[in-house]
Amino acid sequence: MEKFFFRIEIVSKRDILISVTADTESQAKARATVGPIENRIKKEGVTVLFDDTTESETCNKEVVCSKEKATINPEFMQAGKNERLAAGRYLVIDPCYVFGKPRELWSRICNELKEGPDRDARDPLIMTVDNNKVFIFSTAYGDGCYPVSQDEEVIGECGVDAGLLSFIPEKLITSLNHKREDLGTWVDIDMDSIIEWQSIPGNVQIDNVYVDTNYV
């Protein structure tokens, strides 16, 4: 008898994570089964993030198990007005595409972005992973597709599903073995530069790179 397990977790106001655990042969049927749930949630304007895991051969079939994933231990701080990024190559991308798994990591990021006594929910966030600084900021209109310009020319665009964009160093993207670079745009920052940002309307300029999320 085929068995698969579902767990639904609300990780932010905009995101719901559906965890699917099944043996390898049952993965396709499990995803098909959860399809109607996904469609119903999406109609409410909420993003659905999937975490597909597979049971190991030695795992008790009654226990939800997951694959081993690389451990990421980030540090967080609110971005200041004189915050800088080092020169280098960065991927501009919705951070949920890179840090959406494991779910515990994405939950931590969402919690850090929440409004609190000392921060506005739209204030940018600095996340440091193994000395790699990641800049995360809110878009003006939430989800959508936003242009990225360099030297005053549009060089690409970024699809957004979590209402956020980020600048992630190439070194970190490589170490994480991230495979969906097509969801973002690569940019080159020529010199260490101050991050010029506006929470409203949600635009960011770093050196000769400009991300406009308020162009509509």
Q: Residue 179: what pLDDT?
A: 75
- Angle formed at CA 66 by CA 64 and CA 71, multiple of 5 degrees: 140
User: H or E stretch including 194?
Assistant: strand 193-198
pLDDT at 21 over 50: yes
pLDDT over threshold 90, residue 59: no
Q: Answer whether 0.85 is exceeded by the pTM.
A: no
Indicate the domain borders of the chain: 4-54, 75-211
Q: How many CA atoms lie within 13 A of 37 on its CB side?
A: 16
Write down the mean pLDDT value for the chain.
77
How far apart are the C-alpha atoms of 149 and 126, rounded to whole Å?
A: 22
User: What does the pLDDT read at residue 158?
Assistant: 94
Residue 71 banded pLDDT, cuts 50, 70, 90 = low
Q: What percent of the chain has pLDDT over 90?
A: 38
CA distance linking residue 143 with residue 161, whole number of Å: 5
Q: What's the pLDDT score for residue 58?
A: 31
For residue 45, pLDDT beyond 50: yes
Confidence tier at 3 by pLDDT (50, 70, 90): low
Q: Which residue has the higher pLDDT, 134 or 214?
A: 134
- Looking at residue 103, its pLDDT comes to 83
pLDDT of residue 56: 35
Write the pLDDT tens digit of every residue in 85-144: 999 999 999 999 999 888 888 998 988 887 666 666 678 899 999 889 999 999 988 899
pLDDT digits (tens, 9 = 90+) for 175-185: 888 777 888 99
Q: What phi and psi, each to the nearest 5 degrees, are found at residue 78?
A: -70, 135
Asked whether residue 151 carries a pLDDT value surpassing 70, the answer given is yes
